[in-house]
Amino acid sequence: MKMAIVGITGYSGLELVKLLNNHKNVTIASIHATKEIGRRLSELYPYLVGVCDLVIEEFNAQEIMAKSDLVFFATPSGVASQLAQSFVEADFPVIDLSGDHRLPADSYEKWYKKIPASDDVLNKFTYALAEFTDVQGKKFISNPGCYATTTELALIPLLKAGVAEEDSIIVDAKSGLTGAGKALSESSHFVNVHDNYVTYKLNRHQHIPEIVQELQLFSKKLHHIQFSTSLLPVNRGIMATSYVKLKKPLSEAELYAIYKDAYKDKPFVRIQDDLPELHNVIGSNFTDIGFVYNDVTNVLTVVSVIDNLIKGAAGQAVQNLNLMNGWNETEGLLISPNYL
């Protein structure tokens, strides 16, 4: 199958190149951006010389549909909502890595401050958390956000099992800088990030409604979550530390069974004996989850970690690609974490 990537110069677009390059069933047919048209990608990014020497092309929906079988949007918010419509109308498969097709129009407008896609288009998209959504045969995939993926995978098993006080949930999430994208700003200047730790968008992060919406599929009693986001002085990796009051005390074995059961036959989620660290997963599509229950406070602390650019973006997109097509879920994704 032939793939087109729109938004090639962002971090997610570049990561898609890496993953699709190692995927047996696909080739990259074309790559698209709004600038640097006509230049080889490897001229701009010399690390890609000999890895991907494709030339950047202007976006043209008709040409993409003529030459490819599926298009990935790895664009900033506000772009796919404008550009995906013609593919949807033509019933041409789309995987959107951006936030543009995750929320109902009014919620999108409120949290993203951008013009939403039409309801018709939005209704055709499936929000696809790969471990919990059946996407086989689906054509329009909205890939979850990085914070959202980390948080949802930690909390869904507890909600499914009905053991959590739904409205007690407090999530303290931390991300490396690639999560904030490539834009130049005071907050991404090396000197301001290095040796620092900065909490931002407290209660205002645009992944909050997406998380609540997904968690409500598993428990209608959940109304809201308390959600913090901070920047770690690292390039990659997200950790979500979730604090959950339990309805009644549970043993470690009971909790372990809840998680193991939720993720049996799920190759990319690992329930770890010890609390996972970022090093567990960076460079891979794994989500690692660990937990500790405190019987004094009755709080369960769940720690979940992912690589924000892989499981939190390009990797989960490829996982969804595999599942849509009925391929082996792990094709192109059996990459060891870097560890160091």
- What gap in Å lies between CA 39 and CA 57, rounded to an integer? 8
CB 61 within 8 A of CB 87: yes
253 is a site residue for a copy of itself (CB under 8 A):
no
Phi, psi of 156 (to 5 degrees): -55, -45
Site for a copy of itself in 223-242 (CB under 8 A): 224-226, 228, 230, 232-237, 239, 241
281 is a site residue for a copy of itself (CB under 8 A):
yes
Q: Supply the angle between the helices 11-21 and 315-324 in degrees, to the nearest 10.
A: 50
294 is a site residue for a copy of itself (CB under 8 A):
yes
- What gap in Å lies between CA 18 and CA 13, rounded to an integer? 9
146 given a catalytic annotation = yes
Applying CB under 8 A, which of residues 105, 283, 327, 328 lies at the interface with a copy of itself?
283
- What gap in Å lies between CA 278 and CA 164, rounded to an integer? 26
- What gap in Å lies between CA 328 and CA 178, rounded to an integer? 29
Tell me the window of 76-84, 101-109, 174-182, 314-322 that interacts with a copy of itself (CB under 8 A): 174-182
182 is a site residue for a copy of itself (CB under 8 A):
yes
Residue whose C-alpha is closest to residue 217's, from 147, 324, 149, 133: 133
Site for a copy of itself in 87-146 (CB under 8 A): none
78 is a site residue for a copy of itself (CB under 8 A):
no
Residue whose C-alpha is closest to residue 182's, from 48, 306, 74: 74
Residue with smaller CB distance to a copy of itself, 142 or 175? 175
Catalytic residue among 146, 171, 208, 222: 146
Site for a copy of itself in 41-60 (CB under 8 A): 45-52
Six-digit token pair at 340?
A: 């160091």
Six-digit token pair at 248?
A: 């009644």
Tell me the window of 70-78, 83-91, 164-172, 316-324 that interacts with a copy of itself (CB under 8 A): 164-172
Residue with smaller CB distance to a copy of itself, 51 or 115? 51
Tell me the window of 77-85, 154-162, 254-262, 289-297 that interacts with a copy of itself (CB under 8 A): 289-297
The Cβ of residue 6 has, within 10 Å, a number of other Cβ atoms equal to 29
264 is a site residue for a copy of itself (CB under 8 A):
no
Residue with smaller CB distance to a copy of itself, 178 or 322? 178
Applying CB under 8 A, which of residues 36, 69, 165, 172 lies at the interface with a copy of itself?
172
What is residue 220's DSSP assignment? Answer: T
Q: Residue for token digits 């949807």? A: 88
Q: Catalytic residue positions?
A: 146
